[in-house]
Structure 1
Amino acid sequence: MAKVSADQLGTEPIGKLLIKQAVPASIGILVMSLNVLVDSIFVGNWIGSIAIAAINVVLPVSFFIAALGMAIGIGGSSIISRALGSGDKQKALKTFGNQIALTLLLTVGMVVLGLYFIDFLIPAFGGKGSIFPMAKIYYTIVLYGVPFLALCMMGNTVIRAEGKPKFAMIAMIIPSVGNLFLDYLFIYVFDWGMHGAAWATTAGYLLCFGYILYFFLSRNSELKIGLSHFVFSMPILSEIGSLGFVTLSRQAVTSVTYLLMNNILFNLGGEAMVAVYAIIGRMLMFAFFPVFGVTQGFLPIAGFNYGAAKYERVKQSIYTAIKYASLVATLVFVGLMVFPDAITGLFLSNKDNLPAEELATNAFVMEHAPNAMRMVFAASPIIALQLIGAAYFQAVGKAIPALLLTLTRQGFFFIPLILILPSILGELGVWLSFPIADVLATIVTGFYLRQEIKTKLNPAL
């Protein structure tokens, strides 16, 4: 694998550079998304549709803890990209050391709290009725591996900040492939049920951590830290916190969204309605992998060139990223509008002699999920502007606008909508909240991004 220098972020043509950064990120996200998707298909076919709902209940808690690592990673990587761009390698090293120490400190503490409040958290996130026993099994086992996942997510963003997207891609592929193989072994061969699904996921986190550790200890990484770099620096922690808070806030709002959605839908249709949302949630994670890949590829390019005061390249990277991401988002939209029934059917078991309860749940899901999927993804072609716009402010270290734009869709629009519309329109109100929030958030983001380009990135000023 050819060695890539961070300096290339400031010299190569933007279109070529974005493809070089985004394609490996997209492949990595694709494999991770396929992991989530196929994992759910395995669980649905080999354990049952209620098991999918149980995993959906657990995800917001475990993902929030893991998101601490992602938040620290993205916040610190913005500093690292700009420090490398300006030639300040010592600041980059100090930032990386602080990232590792902070990730360990916070995630281990959160795991302890998460296990202590287990019987409160699972029902609060919609794990009620027949969902609770399966959710508790999965939650307990997966939480043990979440600190390793957090370290992986933190390390992955740093690898990209170094300008080495292929290594970051491999780091995302390894745990996904491992998890799917172990799913087959633990669930299908050993018949461990939910225990098998949980241990396969946790083992995948450990495989990822092993590869990330190998990367930074090998000569592939430019960031060779010593013990002194782990000592906390308040200015660096403050900057990591202000920028990482954007990502953490987004995940916190996502967790609140899961809490509200699972409870609202449980009240509207019981466990089967939660299973409908679980399938749509998997598609939300999977379908936009190329858009997220473009966004991930865009971040180090924008951050490095902003740090090097190459504002014309920053502006060009914004326009190119929006163009590429919009194209792939439109393709996703077409696929989901045409094939929602076939997609839904993948998650449901077609075994003979299914219990009556499972048959009834499957029939309910097939009746409700396809139309719901069409509504949820109705505004897909325009989300690129929303994602790239918020990512720009984060990449260049502008924490407040990044935070506000990140929270716009879910915090300012979506959550109020799902609290209001279902009481008026019932189930229809839940699904309509998605495209309405997307349209409103895109309008707001577009306005602020346009103002930023005119005032800050115009080289004539």
Structure 2
Amino acid sequence: MKEQSQRLGIQPIPKLLMNLSVPAMIGMFVMALYNVIDTLFIARGVGILGVSGVSIGFPVMMIIMAIAAAVGIGGASVISRRLGENKQDEADQVFGNVLFTIVIVSSIGFIGAFTFLEPLLKLFGATENIMPYATDYLFPIMLGSVFFSFAFTTNNIIRSEGNSKFAMVTMIIPAVLNIILDPIFIFGLNMGVQGASIATVISQASVTIVVLNYFLKGKSSLTIKLASLKPQWLVIREVLTIGMPAFIRQVSGSGMMIAINLMLIKFGGEFEVGVFGIVQKLAMFTIMPMVGVLQGMQPIIGYNYGAKNYDRLKETVMLGMKVVTIISTGIFLLMMAFPEGLMNIFTGDNATIETGAFAIRIMFALAILIGAQVVSGGLYQALGMAKPALILSMARQVLFLIPLVLILPHFFGVTGVWLAFPLSDLMAFILSIIFLYKDRALFFKNKSSGRLVHPRQA
């Protein structure tokens, strides 16, 4: 086992969490920056209808990514625990089955580009004016879905073995390349929304080559073996079971956007869909640092749980909670103080800025609670506890946000869509606290026996 994996069990937690989280945060930050700049170029070069088209098409892309998330995050959880148990051959076997699964599932997007693309977009709320933009954006994305699936999945695998710096590089390369190619295709070649899409596919294809070289040249703790590529149902089932919360989270995010777009069109119009497309990119940008912290925590938690280093597990969780709470507080202050300035980055249209700033102040009213939600679901996932991870992953978007989005606009119009966000944040936070309190004994294990010690005995 390489040193990058062994340090998960020996390096001091504050230093280790920083070493793993900071590269993840930088990588997520750059990726989020690319998403923001992508939207900025479309807004400036195509207009608000172009942003609306991307907003309608984005849920389809999220579904493709949901499959990759289930395979990648589930595989990363299993691999990190196998490495912690010093079961190298089994870790390689899991990796091989992950690669096999990627090849199988990535064909769905390619086939869908030629078969059900337009009917799907109509189902998701594309109007006659929005459809050309949504189709232009999504068609190349679906053709190149194999690159997205491979890059997203292997990024989690690389992080699971403790190599956070290279995982960061694999996120930065496509983001930077995309930022460079966007203006060339959108403005230089006058390709509009489709230019942004093609730039994205080329960027993901480039990083796929880099990642393949990493594994094939022996730089990883994992080895690609032909025998490991042979599908084994028990391994695939374990990976998908643990990865199911990530799948649900991604799909529910897609469902959330579909519900929001439908309600905005019904109670507002195409203009509001475009405004939400901008605000949603800002929301993704703000949550990335917390996701980066979580990604730094997960391999530490999985490895030390497998190695029965329960004190290190507890210290990781407590420190991670403190960090994400500080980050979410900063996000709250930023969004309350400068929403107009943030909207002005994307557009000079006063109506768009005013509507967007109003939406931001409502949507982020309880942003300070987001950090605990992010960590709680990811914690259970890293431990391989699929049921609580699934419930907490579904909580904010499926159990609370989507129903509120569908109900509140009937009473408050478009404002009801924005109100659904802080209310769902509050409800999801309460549920997370209930779960963490109920399972508090998990962090007070008896070292000699490995049994759970009841809190009253701790």
**Aligned match of 1:356:** none
Return the alpha-carbon distance in structure 2 between the equivalents of residues 117 and 457 of structure 1: 51
| Aligned partners of 1:49 and 1:347 also within 8 Å | no
Q: Which residue identity is paired with 1:281?
A: Q
Q: CA deviation at 1:4?
A: 4.8
Q: CA deviation at 1:104?
A: 1.2
Return the alpha-carbon distance in structure 2 between the equivalents of residues 207 and 379 of structure 1: 39
Return the alpha-carbon distance in structure 2 between the equivalents of residues 130 and 229 of structure 1: 49
- Does 2:435 align with 1:448? yes
Q: Deviations over 1:134-153 (max 9, x none)?
A: 11111111111122111111
**Aligned match of 1:34:** 33
**Aligned match of 2:450:** none
Return the alpha-carbon distance in structure 1 between the equivalents of residues 215 and 69 of structure 2: 17
- Does 2:416 align with 1:417? no
Secondary structure of 1:288's partner?
helix
| Aligned partners of 1:326 and 1:382 also within 8 Å | yes
| Aligned partners of 2:263 and 2:414 also within 8 Å | no
Q: CA deviation at 1:209?
A: 1.0
| Aligned partners of 2:373 and 2:428 also within 8 Å | yes
- Does 2:136 align with 1:137? yes
* Residues 50-89 of structure 1: pairs in structure 2 closer than 5 A: 50-89=49-88
Return the alpha-carbon distance in structure 1 between the equivalents of residues 416 and 89 of structure 2: 52
Return the alpha-carbon distance in structure 2 between the equivalents of residues 42 and 82 of structure 1: 42
Q: Which residue identity is paired with 2:255?
A: V
Q: Deviations over 1:6-50 (max 9, x none)?
A: 111111111111111100000000000000001111111111121
Return the alpha-carbon distance in structure 1 between the equivalents of residues 235 and 436 of structure 2: 27
* Residues 29-428 of structure 1: pairs in structure 2 closer than 5 A: 29-348=28-347, 350=348, 362-428=349-415
Return the alpha-carbon distance in structure 2 between the equivalents of residues 208 and 52 of structure 1: 26
Q: CA deviation at 1:364?
A: 3.3
**Aligned match of 2:456:** none
Return the alpha-carbon distance in structure 2 between the equivalents of residues 249 and 111 of structure 1: 22
How many residue pairs match? The answer is: 447
Please list every run of 5 or more consecutive structure 1 residues that lacks an aligned counterpart in the other structure.
351-361
Query: Aligned-pair RMSD on alpha carbons?
Result: 1.4
Secondary structure of 1:126's partner?
coil
What is the TM-score when the length of structure 2 is the normalising length? 0.95
Q: CA deviation at 1:254?
A: 1.0
Q: CA deviation at 1:459?
A: 3.8
| Aligned partners of 2:5 and 2:221 also within 8 Å | no
Q: CA deviation at 1:363?
A: 4.1
Secondary structure of 1:221's partner?
coil
Q: CA deviation at 1:207?
A: 1.4
| Aligned partners of 1:315 and 1:453 also within 8 Å | no
Please list every run of 5 or more consecutive structure 2 residues that lacks an aligned counterpart in the other structure.
448-452, 454-458
State the identity as a percent: 34
Return the alpha-carbon distance in structure 1 between the equivalents of residues 163 and 400 of structure 2: 36
| Aligned partners of 1:375 and 1:435 also within 8 Å | yes
Deviates more, 1:331-340 or 1:162-171: 331-340
Q: CA deviation at 1:269?
A: 1.7
Q: Deviations over 1:99-147 (max 9, x none)?
A: 0110110121243135411121112222213111111111111111122
Return the alpha-carbon distance in structure 2 between the equivalents of residues 289 and 184 of structure 1: 24
**Aligned match of 1:353:** none
| Aligned partners of 1:61 and 1:255 also within 8 Å | yes
Q: Deviations over 1:174-227 (max 9, x none)?
A: 001111111111112222212211111111111121121121112321211211
Q: Which residue identity is paired with 2:374?
A: L
Return the alpha-carbon distance in structure 2 between the equivalents of residues 304 and 450 of structure 1: 23
| Aligned partners of 1:409 and 1:437 also within 8 Å | yes
Return the alpha-carbon distance in structure 2 between the equivalents of residues 97 and 158 of structure 1: 11
Q: CA deviation at 1:329?
A: 1.3
| Aligned partners of 1:81 and 1:300 also within 8 Å | yes
Return the alpha-carbon distance in structure 2 between the equivalents of residues 457 and 412 of structure 1: 30
Q: Which residue identity is paired with 1:241?
A: L
Return the alpha-carbon distance in structure 2 between the equivalents of residues 317 and 114 of structure 1: 43
- Does 2:22 align with 1:23? yes
Q: CA deviation at 1:455?
A: 4.5
